[in-house]
Every structure is written in C-alpha cells, then in structure tokens.
Amino acid sequence: MSEQPLSSAHSIHRALTRFSGVTVLVVGDLILDRFVNGVIERISPEAPIPVLHGRGETMALGGAGNVVSNIVSLGGKAICISAVGDDAAGANIVRMLGDCGIHGDGVARTAGRMTSSKTRFSALNQQVLRFDEEEVRALQGAERAALLERFRTALASADIVILSDYGKGVLLDGVAAELISICRQAGKPVLADPKGRDYARYAGATAVTPNRKELGEAVGRAVFTDAEVEAAARELIGLHGLDFVVATRSEKGMSVIDATGAHHISTQAREVFDVSGAGDTVIASFALSLASGCDRAAAAAIANAAAGVVVGKRGTASLSADELSGALLRSQSAIQHKDAILDADAAQRMVAAWRREGLSVGFTNGCFDILHAGHVSLLHAARAQCDRLVLGLNSDASVRRLKGEGRPVNDQHDRACVLAALASIDAVVVFEEDTPLKLIEALKPDILVKGADYTVDQVVGADVVQAYGGRVVLVDLVAGKSTTGTIGKLRAGSRK
C-alpha cells in the first residue's frame, strides 16, 4: 500500500468516498453479544436480589464480528476468517455475518468448540449484570492449518489486515505471529488490536492499537501524559519491530506514535452512553482510512471522530459513513470550511445524520452577493434558533434572473466559500431554481429563517414547513445594509 499524505481535512473527507474500494481481511475471535432489557420493580423473595422483568432481547456481532460490522456499515468490504462452535451462538453469528453480506466460508464451525457469548442485562438503560459463556481454547492442528490456508487464499483480495484479538483462542499459540509473517511476505499492512501484556505475539505488525490502560500494562507502568504515552509506544516499537502505535486515550482522544514523531488528536466532547466496542470502531475506521490513502495522522483523526459517534450509542454499535462525515464536519480540527459546501443529495444525508443525533436543523437562503454586516447579523440570529444551520445559495444563473445582468458580482463558488467559512453556517447548498422551495421540501428543516422585511405568508416554503410542524422565524435586519446599496456606492465613487 502506498501511503499518500493528505494536506487538508478536505482530503480526509474525500477519503470516506474511497472506502467502497477497500477490502479489509479480519481475523480474530467472534463473540455473540446479547442485550436483555427490562425493568426492576421488586426484590426476589428467594434472595436479596432484584427481579428483572424482561421487555425484549437483541443480538449483535461482537469481537471481530463488530469490526466486520463497522467496516461494512462504513461502506467498505470485509472478509472474515475465524472459528466458532457448532452451537446456537455460532449459528447466530454466521447468520448475522450473512446479513452483513459476508460469506460464511471463512468461519469454521467445530463441534468441540464453544462459541463465546456475552449477555448484558439492563434496567432503564443501566446495565445490572453481564453473563459470559466462553471457553478459551487455542486452535488445534487441523483447525489451525485450515485457518491459515483460508487466510492465504483471502489475503490476495485484501488491501489491509486486522487481527482482532479478544483472547478467546483463535490467535493464540503463535497463530498471530504466523499471520503477521504471511502479511509481511505479501507486502500487506497488518493492524493488531491487542490483548494481554505480552506484545511479542504481534512482533512485526505494522501497528498495534491499545487503549491507554493496555499500553501501560504492556510496558509495566502507568501512562497518562503525552510524554509517557510516547515513551511507552516507542518502547513497544523498539522491542517488537512495529512501524507505529495507535493509542486510544478515552477523554484525551488518540495518539499516533512512530520512532521519530507523534500526533495527538483531541476527542470531541459529547455525552457518553456506552463504550462497548469503541475499540472495534477505531481499528475498523483507521484501517479503511489508511488503505484509502490517508496518512496516519489523518486516519487517526477519522477514527477518533468515529469513536466519538459510537460511544454516544447504547450497546455494541457501528456507524454509517454519513454519521462519520457529520462528526468530521463538527470537528474544527478535522475539517475545513470548504467541506461544508454540499450538493442537495449530500445535504439530505447530512441533515438525516444530524436528526439521528437529536439535533434541530434550521434553513435560510439568499444570494449573498457581497457579504456585509446585515448578512452576518441575519446568519448569526438564524444559527441561534437551531443546532445546525443550512444555507441555500442562489446559483449565478438564478441571481441573474432575479437581479439582472451584471449580477452577481462574485460567482457562486466564491460566495459559497466565504459563507462556509462563517461559524454560524454548517452547510451551504447551491440551488439553480429561482426559489429554494425544492430544497426546502427535500431537507424538511425544523426551522425556516428569513429577514423581517418579509411576512410569514411571503416566505417561500413557509406553508411546507408549518404543515409538518416546523417553525418560521423572522429576524430583524441591520438598517441601511444591502448589496444593492453597496454596489450603488461603488458606482457613485467611480463617477467622481
């Protein structure tokens, strides 16, 4: 894989569209995650323990299966190599992999093996008990040989490899080391999500992705500060021949360290509901980004944003490319203003992602030919009405039809770039029609904002927004400020 440095966050954003061309080979421990939800209303008469009245049960792919699920939901292709038991849990895992479009050929089902499963019992979204069913057992001779053969065959189709080690047996007894050796010989990058204190089993991997606690355990000391994380990572790099280390650090974000440099990416502040499977999301999104041509720092920025989304969900969770794109757009450190310029289809996807996060969406529109204080005041007031603001911008042809020849002064690209740079604007969409009605009908904003020089019955789209329960807000304008007035002053000055 050739590593292509990305000079801007715009390139990071574009990398998401390249995920569909990436195939990731995932090898590791498959786990069935069950979630039983209910309510607790009394204490058992048999013992001083609460009685959970079940209200429903769901299942999800855990362990390496959650890595696969994240790759697929982000638009990438995945190949899964593993071994499970010939039991009900194993059958459920194979079925769910099939639902993700993953062929079950790579997953061996063995009568003598128990499929790992974890059942989490929750009441009012608070976990009260976890029940694990598992047996740690390394692959036996025939199982091991078959897995290695399947891996060699699948490797030819893969761009990058992930070893998802949950310590249940698939990668034990030198299997991880053998897989890494095969990858090195084939020139394929391999990332390992580690388990345990002994990282010698991952020697020669391209990178490992421990969390802060795991990193400290691997070097035998606690690590907290940037300097301590860098020192621990470089110790592992020197001991085990790694190219670099990606360390996740909870509220501190993420760090990418190699032998000579380090990048520290701050986390995005948001409410945390559940960290289950966040590491799976990190390695899945990092691998896709790296294989898509991102450099390590850019891949880490994308993975960091992805983790910020899934910890805001309950249970073992994956995310979509639209959710990831929205997270990047929210992060000023991971996106530039020009990435807020979207077409109508992309804007619809973005608005849908914002709504899934419970955010209100506002909309306003105009020509915004020569930006002045009145425009800025209007947009600031509009943004104060909502969590996210989309601006519909008249195209050059639309402005000419409305304002006459000689307008606009600034073309649509320049106008869009200037507007997108404003903190009050979250997305700019250029429309070709004389009015934004079609765009309003597509986006269905919660709040429609216009200047108070209009009345509600004059606002295009007001009836549409009000029909589905949205609001129309009219904001006061700054007196004496207009593009037409500015142009008039310029022309008057040129005649003197």
| Reduced 3-state DSSP string for the chain | CCCCCCCCHHHHHHHHHHHHHCEEEEEECEEEEEEEEEEEEEECCCCCCEEEEEEEEEEEEEEHHHHHHHHHHCCCEEEEEEEEECCHHHHHHHHHHHHCCCCHHHEEEECCCCCEEEEEEEECCEEEEEEEECCCCCCCHHHHHHHHHHHHHHHCCCCEEEEECCCCCCCCCCHHHHHHHHHHHHCCCEEEECCCCCHHHHCCCCEECCEHHHHHHHHCCCCCCHHHHHHHHHHHHHHHCCCEEEEECHHHCEEEECCCCEEEECCCCCCCCCCCCHHHHHHHHHHHHHHCCCCHHHHHHHHHHHHHHHCCCCCCCCCCHHHHHHHHHHCCCCCCHHHHEECHHHHHHHHHHHHHCCCCEEEEEECCCCCCHHHHHHHHHHHCCCCEEEEEEECHHHHHHHHCCCCCCCCHHHHHHHHHCCCCCCEEEEECCCCCHHHHHHHCCCEEEEECCCCHHHCCCHHHHHHCCCEEEEECCCCCCCHHHHHHHHHHHHCC
Catalytic-labelled residue, pool 87, 165, 274, 280: 280
Q: Is 213 one of the annotated binding-site residues?
A: yes
Residue 280 annotated among the catalytic residues of the structure: yes
CA distances 362 to 62, 128, 434, 449, 450, Å, are 38, 40, 20, 7, 11
Q: Is 438 one of the annotated binding-site residues?
A: no
Q: Is 365 one of the annotated binding-site residues?
A: no
Q: Is 211 one of the annotated binding-site residues?
A: yes
Please report, in range form, the residues annotated as the binding site for ATP. 211-214
Binding-site residues = 211-214
Mind telling me the catalytic residues?
280
